[in-house]
A and B are shown apart, each in its own frame.
Chain A
Amino acid sequence: MSIDWTEYSTGNFYDELIAEDCSPREPATRLVNYLGSLSTAEINKRKEMAESTIQEMGVSFTVYTEEGNIDRAWPFDIIPRTISASHWEKTAKGLKQRLKALNMFINDLYHEQEIIKDGVIPAEIVLKSKNFRPECVGVTPPHGVWANICGTDLVRDLDGQFYVLEDNLRVPSGVSYMIENREITKRVLPELFSKDSILPVNNYPAHLFDMLASLSPRDIPQPEIVVLTPGIFNSAYFEHAFLAQQMGAELVEGSDLVVEDDDCVYMKTISGLEQVDVIYRRIDDEFLDPETFREDSMLGVPGLMRAWKAGNVALANAPGAGVADDKVVYAYVPDIIRYYLQEEPLLPNVETFLCSDPEQRQYVLENLDKLVVKPANESGGYGMLVGPHSTKKEQEQFATLISKNPRNYIAQPTLSLSTAPTLCGSTPEPRHLDLRPFILQGKNLFVTTGGLTRVAMKKGSLVVNSSQGGGSKDTWIVEEKR
């Protein structure tokens, strides 16, 4: 017994690997044929190999439950998702364009606010966002860049085109899993790497390091770069440790840092205090500095904002950058790109209805059963209404929520998210997925080769978040044959 691809039904969706006529798409040809040549027993063996590799590599993430925090092994599907290199090249250009414009936008908001004065975006949309930080007004971070690390979620619709679903400009996570997924796949399907030209992904930490170093306020050969983690109980702790290790940076918690009277940041070492130049912070704005934000924060460093404003330390991402990943601001990104770059956006947005606009709100309220409603400021797939999968009661709850606080909600049509074959038992079945590439901007711009593919492991489900039962796949950017 082996995989029979003619049995694989792509349904009414765009499948990443298999075309409607059951033949493999170009970049997936070798992969699909190879998998078809393996017996069921061999497929199961590879699956087991992946599981034990994940355990040995200790790739895990933390799930918060009522019974306490559980460290779960990373859910992984061994069938990679393929994208052709030429298609990816265009997508990467669009991602760079987008982040460049977003950073110009954030810098403008904290200075002259020309874009508001010019009437491109209404003042209340921005200034009422809870991610707009008045404390940051007037500050210019290095290179005028606020969001140095961006994770942009892309989805492919029926037409095979990538759409931007959201930009994560605060503390996006997942990049370590992108790298580890490749490590696992190399061990599980080594035969394919010798035949296909699959572009590497493990250069990300080096680019991240260079980008962070380009932010150092002190012009010294070896600036002190640290990764600031909320600690071992954070769901992304694995990633924080991974990145620190890959970059050769110190992994610190708030209690390891101190801001002295000279408004410089120091870390507590075995030889006393040592000055820190760049902090890649993986804690949210609100917890960064109890002197400025939440007083009860045990995770932050008192005085950190003072040091940052004085220009003595770089924070990546800069506080306040989150103002641009608000889902209401999202609707304006195409206009933002046109305004700052005088270019047409290369990557389209998903059509978005703003509940703050009375007409659009009316439409949303009348079509709750067809739309996906999202709160403007949440991440991780929490607090969402997926219309077609919801009950009448849930729809009524959301109608009340929206009427009470329209600024806080947006709605989008239910997308026909693309699928890819995912092993259920030893048979591939189509499962929905998205893609999160990571974009870096310091002195230069960089985009990962592909990104993290997240899969909804449940049949028909559109929720890909690992905190809610999603899994992941390795993502191959495959060079075309010459």
Chain B
Amino acid sequence: MLSKVAERMYWFSRYIERAENTARMVGVYDNLLFDLPRSINISWFNLVVINSSEDVFNARYTVKDEKNVVKLLLADSTNPNSMSSSLLMARENVRTSRDVLPLPLWELINELCMYVSEHIRDGINRTNRHGFLDNVIKGCQQINGLLADNMSKDAAWQFIRLGRNLERADMASRILDAGITAQLSSSDVEQDLDPSQIIWGNVLRSCDGAMNYRRTMRATVEGTRVCQFLLHDKHFPRSITFCADQIAAAVDLLPACEIKELAKLKTLLAGEPGELDESFSDYLNDLQLSFANLHMQFGQCWFALNG
């Protein structure tokens, strides 16, 4: 397949994944912050930090409130990582690669983009936010479902797999990082309501993993276990290990090319994370660097002829 098309497949799936993750995270925060005591230091702005969008935010807004954060994350067309921007970029990649994708995909992504642009106010205002985000997530899942069922598992599919799993792993590491940060800033407060339960429950839900965690770990929600689950679980599709395995499997099925970073990532994931402190943050940082290297090596390996 054409290098250019391969690159578009890769980006298409990253953008769809990004849009879905953003919608889910806003939904989780929306649900969470309704009934949280003031003493617990979780603010909407965390979402901006998780998405590394502080610069974009500061350039556009001054007040770090719910409305501005939600606007930036869902609707802002000047934010390249906003949900709307991600969906439009996904659509653009489909538009220019319709020759390799199932025909109905084009209709699905069109419908989704149309739905979002017509109902974006429902995302920004609270009243209908839940239903709106739910529909966006369903739209993304519908797209992934169509591809899983309908698309030939050829090279194009492997690039979709690469993009989706790399984006997913990267997002999981960011959400874990946000969990650590919140934990560290609230651990010295004495109160009845255990903030750590709320923080780590939130982390799990942001990765759509609360149910799976309980069934797999058979334990209460607790920081070290949650980290272990999201880092190492072999079966949960959003754990970093699972994503790394998917990436390795996809690489194996693509035209021979050495992705040196894969071995490094494997070593990193084999290590046991220690206490939930700054050293853990450093560890997550190493993971994120490894993801960035993978992204670069994919480019050198398969997309380089393009250009």
Interface set of A (CB-CB < 8 Å, partner B): 55-58, 227, 232, 241-242, 244-245, 248-253, 255-256, 267-273
Verify A268–B110 contact, CB threshold 8 A: no
Q: What separation, in Å, do the CA atoms of A256 and B4 have in the docked complex?
A: 8
**Contacting residue for A269 out of B106, B111, B305, CB 8 A:** B305
Of A232, A248, A256, A270, most buried by chain B (CB within 10 Å of CB) is: A270
| CB pair B99 A270 closer than 8 Å | no
A222 to chain B, nearest CB (A): 15
C-alpha gap A270/B99 in the complex (Å): 16
Contact between chains at A245 and B99 (CB < 8 Å): yes
Closest 6 CB pairs of A and B: A268-B305, A271-B255, A244-B99, A245-B99, A270-B302, A251-B99
| Complex: A267 Cα to B306 Cα, angstroms | 10
CA distance A134 to B305 in the complex (A): 34
Q: Which residue of A lies closest to B255 (CB)?
A: A271
* Contacting residues, chain B, for A269 (C-beta < 8 A): 1-3, 305
Q: B residues near A, CB below 8 A?
A: 1-6, 95-101, 103, 106-107, 110-111, 114, 155, 254-255, 302, 305-307
Residues of chain B with a CB closer than 8 A to A272's CB = 255, 305
Is B2 a contact partner of A56 (Cβ separation < 8 A)? no
- What is the total of A-B residue contacts with beta carbons within 8 Å? 69
The main secondary structure of chain A at its interface with chain B is mixed
Once bound together, how far apart are the Cα atoms of A269 and B307, in whole Å?
A: 12
Rounded to whole angstroms, the CA-CA distance of A253 and B98 in the bound complex is: 14
Known A55-B114, A56-B111, A58-B110; judge A267-B98 contact (CB<8 A): no
CA distance A251 to B96 in the complex (A): 9
Give the nearest-CB partner of B7 in chain A. Answer: A270
Alpha-carbon distance between A273 and B305 when the two chains are bound, in angstroms: 9
Contact of A249 among B4, B99, B302, B307 (CB under 8 A): B99
How far, in Å, is A135 (CB) from chain B's closest CB? 28
**Contact at A270–B255, with CB atoms within 8 Å?**
yes
CB distance B6 to A242 under 8 Å? no
CA distance A267 to B6 in the complex (A): 13
- Whether A270 lies near B103 (C-beta < 8 A) is no
B111 adjacent to A270 (CB under 8 Å)? no
Partner of A255, one of B101, B111, B155, B307: B307
Apart from A57-B110, A227-B99, A270-B1: 18 A-B pairs, beta carbons within 8 A: A55-B110, A56-B107, A56-B110, A58-B95, A58-B106, A58-B107, A241-B99, A244-B98, A245-B98, A245-B101, A250-B2, A251-B97, A251-B98, A251-B99, A256-B2, A267-B2, A268-B305, A270-B155
Q: List 8 A-B contacts (CB under 8 A).
A: A58-B107, A227-B99, A242-B98, A250-B1, A250-B2, A250-B5, A251-B99, A270-B255
Please pick, from B1, B98, B254, B306, the residue contacting A241 in the complex, using a CB distance under 8 A: B98
- A270 touching B95 in the complex, CB below 8 Å, given contacts A57-B107, A256-B2, A256-B306: no
Which chain B positions have C-beta within 8 A of A242? Answer: 98
Quote the shortest CB–CB distance from B186 to chain A (angstroms): 47
A255–B101 Cα gap in the complex (Å)? Answer: 21
CB distance from A196 to the nearest CB of B (A): 26
Please give, as numbers and ranges, the residues of chain A lying within 8 Å of B97 by CB-CB distance. Answer: 251
Residue of B nearest to A226 (CB): B2
Residue of B5, B96, B255, B305 ringed by the most chain A CB atoms within 10 A: B305
Query: CA of A71 to CA of B240 in the docked complex: distance in angstroms?
Result: 40
Tell me the minimal C-beta distance from A418 to chain B in angstroms: 34
CB distance from B251 to the nearest CB of A (A): 12
Q: B307 contacts which chain A residues (CB < 8 A)?
A: 255
